[in-house]
Structure 1
Amino acid sequence: MTVTSLIGGHVLVAGGLATGGLRYAAEIEAEVVQVFVTNPRGWALNDGKPSEDAALRESGVPVFLHTPYLVNMGSPTADTLEKSTESVRHALRRGAEIGALGVVVHTGSAVSQSKDAALRQLHEHLLPLLEEIPEDGPDLLLEPMAGQGQMLCATVQDLGPYLDALDHHPRANICLDTCHAFSAGHDLAAPGGVAEMLDALHAVAPGRLKLVHANDSKDLCGSKRDRHENIGAGHIGTEPFADLLRHPAAAGVPLCIETPGKADKHREDILLLKKLRESVTAAAG
């Protein structure tokens, strides 16, 4: 039996977290949303507005929160590490306040230090944040990157040492970005490529996949370049997303697009994924 995966996208919140976010979600026909609660390219933190938080919680729309792009828990720079720690702590608190199911964080880079040193740093600084999450709070969702530089996670196999560093904490789960995975070397466009990647993920982190960022790629497999494309318009193509929807490891896992363009393009991407979902469901009987 196929378990339905909700399909949605990252939403713009101009006019208020709930007011603007839910309006944009309706415009693009999203069933699930991802939001920023702070400037994604800055360190400033804020408390939000209780009325907007309550409206988002009570909307019934499943929500995920994405931490700012600057966060790097593997950084050897003390100031960056301190700000990253506080940013993740803040995101987990805000996630609980808006009723988020998960808080997405990039797995980060060792930059100029060894990866072993960066992983020890995760044990010291990120693991305690997982212990602080209340029972009804959001999971932390680790998002591997495209593989450029000293990235700590690119392929799904890289998640093994990362989870080891976090003692395989039950609140450490996974957000998989299809563009990142493709750019890191998982050939999702090849026959059986999606199944091969998801089988490998299941071997390393069984049951931990909680969100998929569904993005095509402007660049070739193994490029190590993080440039998203609209669904079916890039080098991954359309059919691999159907392969993803029919794989047991992704059953019931929400898909959120982070593709280029404005509302009309985002709606097109979401509707295309919904059509693929319908075909997969129909084929499964």
Structure 2
Amino acid sequence: MRIGAHVDSADPLSEAAARAAEAVQFFLSDPQGWKAPQPREDADRLRAAEVDLYVHAPYVINVATLNNRIRIPSRKLLLGHATAAAEIGAKGLIVHGGHVNAGDDLAVGFDNWRKTFAYAAESGGFALPVLIENTAGGDNACARRLDALARLWDAVGEYEVGFCLDTCHAHAGGEELLDLVDRVKAITGRIDLVHANNSKDAFDSGRDRHDNLGGGTIDPELVVAVIRAAGAPAIVETPGGVDGQGTDIAFLRDRLGAGSPAA
């Protein structure tokens, strides 16, 4: 079982080594901006690394929205990030489920997701697995609660779509972690990655604030149980840099019996 962390993009492999991580996740461009990712000088080194790589798409991407000024650039940027992530040998591109604005028809948002994959298929499809991530807040979200996730999968299930389960987002979004993996897999058929995060805020708060596994409002053993049941790699997106994330990785490795990276 591969365990790692979200790290700074400047030198992901050094960041992985500092945390004894077997996997890393990072951005390829400003997460709050619309600039396309640029070729990386370390692409050959990243492709050859034994560390598993995951790329997180920018937060601004929202392919579900009915606002064409956001939706059309979003799907182009998502396609560009998939191509760039594949070029460095990443195993997946994580993107948030998105939302529609208040008063808009959520059904159109789900169909806009379908159109996103259809749009990509016109140019040969996404260059690597796209992993849709559940989100913490919003009454008009496409992937906050499982009833919405089921409608989303009805729209995109004909395509090869992956899923990333975030434990903080599920807790803050109002989904109990107990037996969550079974309930998600009954909808998606798969969990490709777990974002193993505690939550600073209460259950169903709708607030996306991550905490270290030993803090927050989630019993850390529930996070361990989610990863074990999912049987998927885990990435901590927790605070504290090398020390905080390194402690979280060591905790998970100990509880999951995953051994050290050298084992």
C-alpha displacement of 1:131 = 6.2
The match for 2:54 is: 64
Post-superposition Cα deviations, 1:106-150, rounded to whole Å, max 9, x if no partner, equal: 010011421011112222233332564569x32000001013241
C-alpha displacement of 1:230 = 0.4
The match for 1:21 is: 12
Match of 2:204 among 216, 219, 222: 222
Letter aligned with residue 55 of structure 1: R
In 1, Cα distance between the equivalents of 2:123 and 2:173? 32
In 2, Cα distance between the equivalents of 1:226 and 1:127? 30
Q: From the superposition, tell whether residues 131 and 240 of structure 1 become closer, same or farther in structure 2 (CA, over 3 Å).
A: farther
Question: Is residue 186 from structure 1 mapped to residue 175 from structure 2 by the alignment?
Answer: yes
C-alpha displacement of 1:155 = 2.1
Question: Is residue 243 from structure 1 mapped to residue 222 from structure 2 by the alignment?
Answer: no
SS at match of 1:209: coil
Q: Which runs of 5+ in 1 are unaligned?
A: 15-19
C-alpha displacement of 1:232 = 2.2
Post-superposition Cα deviations, 1:57-80, rounded to whole Å, max 9, x if no partner, equal: 001211111100000011122111
Give matches, 1:165-180, under 5 Å: 165-170=155-160, 172-180=161-169
Give matches, 1:200-279, under 5 Å: 200-206=183-189, 208-247=190-229, 250-251=230-231, 253-278=232-257
Aligned residues: 258
Letter aligned with residue 233 of structure 1: G
The match for 2:100 is: 110
Q: Give runs of ≥4 in structure 1 deviating > 4 Å.
A: 130-135
The match for 1:17 is: none
Question: Is residue 45 from structure 1 mapped to residue 36 from structure 2 by the alignment?
Answer: yes
C-alpha displacement of 1:46 = 3.2
Contact kept? 2:167, 2:196, Cα under 8 Å: yes
Post-superposition Cα deviations, 1:42-94, rounded to whole Å, max 9, x if no partner, equal: 00113322x41111000121111110000001112211112101110111101
Contact kept? 1:157, 1:200, Cα under 8 Å: no
In 2, Cα distance between the equivalents of 1:167 and 1:244? 23
Contact kept? 1:65, 1:104, Cα under 8 Å: yes
In 2, Cα distance between the equivalents of 1:267 and 1:33? 12
Post-superposition Cα deviations, 1:206-260, rounded to whole Å, max 9, x if no partner, equal: 1x2100000000111111111111002011122112312332xx12x10000011
In 2, Cα distance between the equivalents of 1:167 and 1:241? 27
Q: From the superposition, tell whether residues 242 and 122 of structure 1 become closer, same or farther in structure 2 (CA, over 3 Å).
A: closer
In 1, Cα distance between the equivalents of 2:114 and 2:227? 33
Post-superposition Cα deviations, 1:142-176, rounded to whole Å, max 9, x if no partner, equal: 00101324111112342221121124312x11000
In 1, Cα distance between the equivalents of 2:134 and 2:2? 22
Contact kept? 1:130, 1:140, Cα under 8 Å: no
Match of 2:128 among 104, 122, 138: 138
Letter aligned with residue 68 of structure 2: A
SS at match of 1:12: coil
The match for 1:33 is: 24
Letter aligned with residue 172 of structure 2: S
The match for 1:124 is: 115
